[in-house]
Amino acid sequence: MIRKNILTIVNKKRLFFQMLIIVFLMLPSSNYFSLAQVDVREAIVKVYTVSNYPDYYNPWSMEGPRASSGSGCIIEKNLILTNAHVVSNQTFLQVRKYGDTQRYRAKVVAVSHLTDLALLTVEDFGFFDGITALDFGQLPETQQEVLVYGFPVGGDMLSITKGVISRIEHQPYVHSSSVFLAGQIDAAINPGNSGGPVLVDDKIVGVVMQGIPTAQNIGYMVPTPVISHFFADLTDGILNGYPSLGIGLQDMENDDLRRYYRMEEGMNGVLINQIVPGGPADGNLKINDVLLLIEDFPIGNDGTVEFRPNERTQLNYVIQQKQIGEDLKVTILREGEKKEIKVNLSRSLTKDRLVPMEQYETLPTYYIYGGLVFCPLTKDLLNIWGPQWYQSAPRELACYLLNNFPEREDQLVVVLLKTLAADVNQGYQNISNWVVELVNGEKVWNMHDLVEKIENCEEPFIILEDQYHKKIIIDKDKAENSHQEILEIYRVPSDRSEDLK
């Protein structure tokens, strides 16, 4: 009797498990896999980069190769998401999966240096076999707990640190010297963490990009709205970047300032005090217009908008939701009268600047005449004075960034960088970092203009002049006769960069 009862129980259990297996096999494949435990660590990769940066003080040369490493994560379509600064100016690129010993050759698919994001892939698609790609989550809330995955210094294995989102607001991105939405995290991050994912519930909410070495546990991530804009921009296969409205603004927190511009009680906004020539605002908005709303976002007197309840950030947040070519609705106060204007965001943010910010995968522009080395003023040039360039670089160069707006669309600051000593430039050999304002009495607008004015000059002398009317005078015949000799002595392969040929 006992044996019969035992057999009955065993048969019932066998039938139960058979039915469970049948039900399990009948589940849709997505549910089938959701029952398995997914280890997000398998989607984390270490990125090995060999890069070669231009030498901006000797713009015909390179600094030489150097090795570095960063982190990344596998997302859909056999892609790896990382930072642009991890792979910038790369000459050789490899990746290694978590728990693996083999490095695989990788290549860059797309890169946004403005927002410090890059997409990589591996030529051997077997690299992605068996890996569950990470999905993306929403913009996290402040005080929400996050996990940071990556391969920082201090070891070779995967590191996982825990923290919270401290705040979300616009911050300068070091890689591009541009300001975008960023998430501040207090999880420990170190060199090598760059490009690693920040996860909430195993979903990507950001990509680690930078920290503040002098502060305690202050790091920043590129948040999902910025990542989403990057992906949306790439849908047509071309990365256009971020649009700009092309205006300079002044806060209006002072009561008398608001009254002067006829703002009513309770009305908030910011004053337009500059318009970039050729930009979207040129011809649509005017200096002394008061910007009240951008799309449907009221603008505070401090130039911020509320992007979530009780959370504010720069009004550029609204512009940066748009793609180049889209329309932007703005409401202004002009001479006491409200107007609604639609502006087409037809131009990239990078074209608004007199002094271009950091550039990558691009060789420096230069021109040599009579042993004088000319180049445009760029942020890359200022960086030759080191991380504290704003203190150590010549003030006459650094001051151009205080009001970084051109007078016309193609304007650049032309600098006499240094002199390659020769008889033709005797007496000028200690001149360096000298801004060229005029050539033979005519304004110089950019490097192409400089070359044209020098080489088309029919006078016997080339007269260079700075803003203080100091002059450098070069005999044209002497310069041309010594030209090749100077290049050979200093082993310069060409008197100009490729973009000037």
Query: What CATH number corresponds to the domain at position 274?
Result: 2.30.42.10
From residue 123, how far is each of 46, 47, 95, 126 by CA, in Å? 16, 15, 11, 9
Known active-site residue 194: yes
Boundary residue ending a domain (224, 240, 256): 240
Output the six-digit token pair for 314.
């720069």
**Dihedral (C-alpha) 162, 163, 169, 171: value to the nearest 10 degrees?**
-60
Q: Is residue 21 part of a domain?
A: no
Boundary residue ending a domain (313, 347, 381): 347
Known active-site residue 482: no
424/287 Cα distance (integer angstroms): 48
Give me the domain span that covers residue 273.
247-347
Kindly report each contact of residues 169-173 with a partner whose C-beta sits within 8 Å and lies 24 or more positions away, as own/partner.
Answer: 169/311, 169/312, 169/313, 169/314, 170/313, 170/314, 170/316, 170/317, 171/220, 173/114, 173/115, 173/116, 173/209, 173/210, 173/222
For 380-411, the pLDDT digits (tens) are 999 999 989 999 999 999 999 988 999 998 99
Q: Is residue 362 part of a domain?
A: no
208/194 Cα distance (integer angstroms): 5
Please tell me whether residues 134 and 177 are part of one structural domain.
yes
Please tell me whether residues 148 and 71 are part of one structural domain.
yes
- Report the number of distinct structural domains present in the chain: 3
Please tell me whether residues 236 and 270 are part of one structural domain.
no
Q: Is residue 254 part of a domain?
A: yes
Question: Catalytic pick from 69, 112, 178, 194?
Answer: 194
Q: Is residue 358 part of a domain?
A: no
Cβ within 8 Å of residue 63, ≥6 positions away: 52, 53, 54, 55
Please tell me whether residues 66 and 211 are part of one structural domain.
yes
Output the six-digit token pair for 303.
């130039």
Confidence (pTM)? 0.88
Q: Is residue 360 part of a domain?
A: no
Known active-site residue 483: no
Please tell me whether residues 167 and 284 are part of one structural domain.
no
Question: Catalytic pick from 51, 71, 85, 170?
Answer: 85
240/246 Cα distance (integer angstroms): 16
Q: Is residue 117 part of a domain?
A: yes
169/376 Cα distance (integer angstroms): 33
For 188-200, the pLDDT digits (tens) are 999 999 999 999 9
139/143 Cα distance (integer angstroms): 12
Please tell me whether residues 316 and 430 are part of one structural domain.
no
Question: Catalytic pick from 51, 116, 170, 175?
Answer: 116
Q: Is residue 178 part of a domain?
A: yes
Q: Is residue 361 part of a domain?
A: no
pLDDT, averaged in runs of 10, over the chain (501 residues): 38 39 34 54 98 97 97 97 98 96 96 98 92 96 96 94 96 96 95 97 97 90 98 94 96 97 96 95 96 97 96 97 97 96 94 94 97 98 94 94 91 98 96 97 98 96 96 97 97 97 92
Query: What CATH number corresponds to the domain at position 160?
Result: 2.40.10.120
Please tell me whether residues 101 and 192 are part of one structural domain.
yes
Please tell me whether residues 92 and 186 are part of one structural domain.
yes
Please tell me whether residues 400 and 496 are part of one structural domain.
yes
460/120 Cα distance (integer angstroms): 55
Please tell me whether residues 447 and 336 are part of one structural domain.
no
